[in-house]
A and B are shown apart, each in its own frame.
Chain A
Amino acid sequence: MTAVKATPTTPPPRLPVRDKAAAGERGWGGVSPMLTRLAAEEATGVLVRERGSLHLVDGHVVHAESPSAPGLELLLTAHGTLGAEAWEAAARATDDRHATTRLLVDGGLLSPGALELCHLGALYDAAYFVLAPSSTPGRFRYGVTHPIGGVRPVPVTALERETLRRRDLLHRVWPDAATDGTPLVRADPVAPPPVTARQAAVLAQVDGVRTAPDIARVLGRRAYPTLLDVRRLVSAGLVSPRPPTPATRPSPGTGTGTTDSVGTDPHVTDPDITLLKRLRDALEAL
């Protein structure tokens, strides 16, 4: 969130230590201690993490990229907001003094408002994946700037808070993260509940191979809202993550005494049993 006028709730920017304490108190501190530190020292450069990168200028996030989220270029060209050749021309003309986005706006190809909206959408979307828990430490390279240019810098605290909120929102819809990255298959419930137009478009792309981020790319949509749509579809019983292989499913009880043969039978189509299995999966994922 970016306040236009300084509001009483905004902590003074010159006191990053207090910022951090406030964040800790409200439970926001846990996303990336390194990022918090970089914000405090008003660093400029790029933070590379396992699932993407965040570009900082003076401690504010100006750009984010992740292989899981469609970039600004795809979002702008997918639905004809901008012609692909217009983007390429701007990207070619980009140099040290002329950022790509600046060229697009100055050339009258894109309004500042549309650029801000689309860029912020892409930034928060990619940052959600970049700030996902990772198994490797992040690296920061000082002084690196991105040719796409800063549009509307986002404070690190706002980004972290939003990322945590997005995580929480997904969890509340359907508490199983397996739906975010595995290929999806359609389920055919007896009485399918109604879906929204957005969800119907997502559902139409579920083919047993594509993952939620793949579907986002195909549809030219941001990845996080697609994750959310997919989890709602899973929760409604219309989609499920494809099981790795049918044989690996009952592995925990290898050997003697497996009594849950009903639960592991892949051919069960009884709607009650399907519902119970989904309920069990949801409870296990809690």
Chain B
Amino acid sequence: MPGIDECLLEAMRLPGARGAALVDWTSGLALGVVGESPGGDQEASAAEAAELARLAAEHRAFAAVGEDGQEGDDPPLEDLIVSNRDSYHVLRFVRTSFDSSVFLHLWLTRAEGNLALARIRLGEMAGRLVLG
């Protein structure tokens, strides 16, 4: 039964992980951080990642459409993947039964990281974080 810190430390054990954070996308607040962040400033990274997550979560273009044409899930996304020349960023939305707006942010080096594995494991961690 992990808490926030255990969850982030577990994410850091993934191959190629350089930094992990749990961020509230309403305001850009980092609720927990482990490891490094791209610019060296974890708060600034959290705020920027939050802005991206919020935009993606609020636009219908990316939402899954249910049978009646209405998206029911909040947020409607599972994860967001950003890749660049030397690294990957995986932003995994954490779904909770209570009101919240958080995602896990994992920063991986491209040389060692395994995107598919990271995506699956991050999803499992997000589930365990909330359900125990």
Contact = CB atoms under 8 A, between A and B. Distances in A.
Contacts of A166: 27
A72 to B, nearest CB: 9
B74 A3 contact: no
Interface stretch (A47-55, A76-84, A182-190, A269-277): A76-84
A75 B33 contact: no
Contact of A121 (B30, B100, B130): B100
A3 B33 contact: yes
A9 interface: yes
Contacts of A2: 31-33
A174 interface: no
A198 B74 contact: yes
A155 interface: no
B4 A7 contact: no
Interface residues of A, number: 42
Contacts of A1: 29-33, 42-43, 46
Interface in B92-129: 94, 96-102, 128-129
Contacts of B132: 108, 110-114
B26 interface: yes
A5 interface: yes
B9 to A, nearest CB: 7
Nearest to A165: B27
A124 B29 contact: yes
B99 A221 contact: yes
Contact of A114 (B27, B60, B130): B130
Interface stretch (A58-66, A141-149, A222-230, A278-286): A222-230
Interface-centre pick from B28, B96, B128 (highest chain A CB count, 10 A): B96
Contacts of B130: 111, 113-114, 117
Nearest to A169: B27
Contact of A117 (B4, B43, B60): B4
B48 interface: no
Contacts of B1: 105, 111-113
A4 B8 contact: yes
Interface string A118-129: 101100100000
On chain B, which size bracket covers the interface? 35 or more
A225 B74 CA distance: 14
A255 interface: no
Contact of B42 (A9, A117, A162, A196): A9
A169 B25 CA distance: 12
A152 B33 contact: no
Interface in A228-254: 228
Nearest to A220: B99
Given A9-B41, A111-B130, A113-B3, A80 B97 contact: yes
B14 interface: no
Given A111-B129, A111-B131, A152 B99 contact: no
A282 to B, nearest CB: 22
Contact of A4 (B24, B28, B33, B72): B33
From A111, A117, A118, residue with most partner B Cβ within 10 Å: A117
A105 B3 CA distance: 11
B11 to A, nearest CB: 11
Interface centre among A113, A114, A118 (most CB of B within 10 A): A113
A80 B96 CA distance: 11
18 contacts: A2-B33, A81-B98, A110-B132, A112-B3, A112-B132, A113-B129, A114-B98, A114-B129, A116-B4, A117-B96, A117-B102, A118-B96, A120-B31, A165-B27, A224-B26, A225-B26, A225-B99, A225-B101
Enumerate the 5 nearest inter-chain pairs by beta-carbon distance, A residue then B residue, closest first.
A111-B132, A113-B129, A112-B3, A221-B99, A1-B30
